[in-house]
Chains A and B, each alone.
Chain A
């Protein structure tokens, strides 16, 4: 079993009193609680902090922890020979257990596995990063989990679990899927926990995602913007011909209805093509000639509003 220094995790002295421990925990919870923290490592850090507090706030668990002695964090260690007997468990296996499982099993100094309190299983949250195309089509992913499971005597052991999960089409960034009863095992008849998949989408080189809607840049040559054009636009289902009306300005949102991401039980999202007017890096002599002719003949003033403001200025 690997040692964790709960006192240094909370940043308190080993002689700290209950109030100091509580204060240190609260300060760190503000910083790392996954529901309020923006720190990408917040969830992991909070788990450590919560695990440390869970043991140190309970006087009996704290005393049991202190009896494990002092070791380097991460160092393999064995508890003193009589430790298990003192804390109500003579047969606990220390080889495949985590320190957190060991103390989760201790309730008021006694091992709770053999008791009669119904304990629901732990819920697991797992990140499921997928591509946009996977979200569009649906995908089967394989999860490799290491979960605490009780043996016949109620003692917790870490066991590997391999789970194949079908993510149905309709996923988008930030959505959650629930797998009922696939979390940790309940104790003494308690319900099994659930497994939650947090869907995140990898960035796509073409499409930007907002909910189930997609956005794509549609570059237009100046003459296409003025004259209108029929343009093939890539969509997740294949190219679609889009009619760009004449005199289309830059920044216009052209909607391709139902060409976004499918929703779990409803209408598909839309794809929006945002027009951009682009010019060639260098114009040929012939192109330059056309533009010079246009500049000469056109009466169009793109800055009429600015001009008006300047004329009105005192």
Chain B
């Protein structure tokens, strides 16, 4: 079996995607993506700029949105609501993780 080498890319703010790229990679339609932006579930780097550009992190959100849409058969508003609540949970989990890291280890 041949050994292939692959280059990995971080999904951070430094890597950006256009709306078309996000749609193609995630499997959502551009119109669905625009709805997610309208509902505030995904935010372009500059909402007033044209065309929209999204940070690499948005790809994870949009892929989650796509999985939720397919997995639960949801319409865009329901997807946006779930994505927003999941983001809130992630923020809280990160805060708990940060507080836990500051607690001294039990001896």
A positions within 8 Å CB-CB of B: 26, 29, 33-36, 46, 50, 120, 123, 142, 160-168, 170, 175-180, 182, 191, 194-195, 197, 208-211, 213-215, 217, 251, 253, 264-265, 272, 274, 276
Contact = CB atoms under 8 A, between A and B. Distances in A.
Contacts of A214: 101
5 contacts: A35-B67, A120-B27, A161-B1, A162-B4, A210-B98
Given A29-B72, A35-B86, A276 B104 contact: yes
B104 A168 contact: no
Contact of B104 (A50, A176, A180, A217): A217
B10 A175 contact: yes
Q: Range of interface residues on chain B?
A: 35 or more
Nearest to B68: A35
Contact of B5 (A164, A177, A209): A164
Given A35-B68, A177-B11, A162 B98 contact: no
Contact of B101 (A36, A123, A215): A215
Given A217-B104, A274-B104, A180 B68 contact: no
Contacts of A165: 5-6, 8
Contacts of B51: none
Interface of B: 1-12, 14, 24-25, 27, 56, 59-60, 63-64, 67-68, 71-73, 82, 86, 94, 97-98, 100-102, 104-105
Nearest to A29: B71
A163 B102 CA distance: 38
Nearest to A265: B14
Q: Which 7 A-B pairs have the closest CB atoms?
A: A177-B8, A208-B101, A210-B101, A210-B98, A264-B10, A265-B14, A215-B101
Contacts of B71: 29, 33, 35, 46, 50
Contacts of B4: 161-164, 182
Contact of B6 (A26, A163, A208): A163
A168 B3 contact: no
Given A33-B71, A177-B11, A178-B59, A274 B1 contact: no
B73 to A, nearest CB: 8
Contacts of B67: 33-35
Nearest to A120: B27
Contacts of B63: 123
